[in-house]
């Protein structure tokens, strides 16, 4: 599937993959900082933004294959792949399934696997929205995503309104794929420069969960953004951009 995407800037190619539930527009502030040195592609994942909802995806591989198709269609591979949360899980899967697409891997604020009990919790975030609409998951999501002091900001309020208006089927297919995530067995086989970013105050994905990725990939680095929540690229785009650029200048 060819996904909706936007390309800005000039230089070596770099793709940004967004978290579940939102779209490429929420990556604009970060992209503006990166496109000074890179040609940046932002992608709307399947069921998100202006990309198609159908056919509904079942697995993380479906989303990764969409990104692969889009990169090849745009002549954008091989590129640095930066993914946040859901986007970071897709980035890992892309590197495993389509290693020639990925010149550098940057999974941020997301895990590589789940304990069995957590898979049930994660899956419920999708089914709760299907049964009760996005309002059933909205407040808990906002609390997990942002620090308390940021919740009343214009960007957080825009995020809240955007989520509330989404088709829950797009949200649910993402959470179904997240519940089935298990890239961990394949990570030791990757041979790509890797930086893992974590938010110190992330209530959704712990620093330890992100560290598990860095520990599994040979030569991978871990950096923790002080005071940052799950949506670290929204609250601290400058700090995130600095870590990304500093890493990519070395590889």
pLDDT of residue 104: 98
Is residue 124 in a domain? no
Q: How many domains does the chain have?
A: 1
Mean pLDDT, residues 223-247: 98
pLDDT of residue 10: 96
Summary mean pLDDT of the chain? 98
pLDDT of residue 112: 98
Is residue 227 in a domain? yes
Q: What is the pLDDT of residues 75-110, one digit of tens each?
A: 999 999 999 999 999 999 999 999 999 999 999 999
At 58, which CATH number?
A: 3.40.50.1820
Is residue 122 in a domain? no
Is residue 202 in a domain? yes
Start-to-end CA distance of the chain, whole Å, equals: 30
Mean pLDDT, residues 145-165: 98
Query: 171 pLDDT band (50/70/90 cuts)?
Result: very high
Query: 4 pLDDT band (50/70/90 cuts)?
Result: very high
Is residue 167 in a domain? no
Is residue 200 in a domain? yes
pLDDT of residue 75: 97
Tokens of 196: 């893992």
Residues 102, 142: Cα–Cα separation, whole Å: 31
Q: What is the pLDDT of residues 58-75, one digit of tens each?
A: 999 999 999 999 999 999
> Judging by DSSP bridges, how do beta strands 5-8 and 12-17 pair with one another?
unpaired
Is residue 135 in a domain? no
Map residue 136 onto helix, strand or coil: helix
Is residue 125 in a domain? no
Residue 32 is part of which domain span? 5-114+181-248
> In this structure, is the dihedral angle defined by the CA atoms of residues 176, 211, 17 and 99, taken in order, positive or negative?
negative
pLDDT of residue 167: 96
Query: 11 pLDDT band (50/70/90 cuts)?
Result: very high
Mean pLDDT, residues 242-250: 97
Q: What is the pLDDT of residues 177-212, one digit of tens each?
A: 999 999 999 999 999 999 999 999 999 999 999 999
């Amino acid at each position: 599937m060819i996904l909706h995407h936007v390309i800005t800037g000039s230089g070596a190619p770099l793709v940004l993959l967004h978290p579940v539930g939102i779209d490429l527009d929420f990556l604009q502030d970060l992209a503006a900082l990166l496109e000074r040195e890179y040609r940046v592609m932002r992608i709307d994942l399947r069921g998100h933004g202006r990309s198609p909802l159908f056919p509904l995806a079942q697995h993380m591989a479906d989303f990764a294959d969409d990104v692969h198709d889009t990169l090849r269609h745009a002549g954008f591979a091989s590129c640095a792949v930066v993914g946040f949360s859901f986007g970071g899980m897709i980035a890992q899967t892309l590197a495993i399934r389509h290693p020639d697409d990925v010149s550098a891997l940057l999974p941020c604020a997301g895990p590589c696997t789940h304990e069995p009990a957590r898979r049930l919790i994660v899956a419920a975030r999708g089914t709760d929205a299907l049964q009760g609409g996005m309002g059933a998951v909205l407040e808990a999501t906002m609390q997990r995503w942002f620090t308390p002091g940021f919740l009343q900001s214009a960007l957080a309020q825009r995020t809240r309104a955007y989520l509330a208006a989404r088709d829950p089927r797009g949200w649910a297919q993402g959470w179904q794929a997240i519940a089935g995530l298990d890239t961990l067995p394949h990570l030791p086989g990757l041979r790509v420069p890797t930086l893992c970013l974590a938010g110190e105050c992330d209530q959704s994905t712990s620093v330890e969960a992100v560290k598990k990725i860095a520990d599994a990939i040979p030569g991978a680095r871990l950096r923790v953004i002080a005071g940052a929540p799950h949506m670290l690229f929204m609250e601290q785009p400058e700090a995130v951009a600095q870590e990304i650029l500093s890493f990519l200048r070395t590889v």
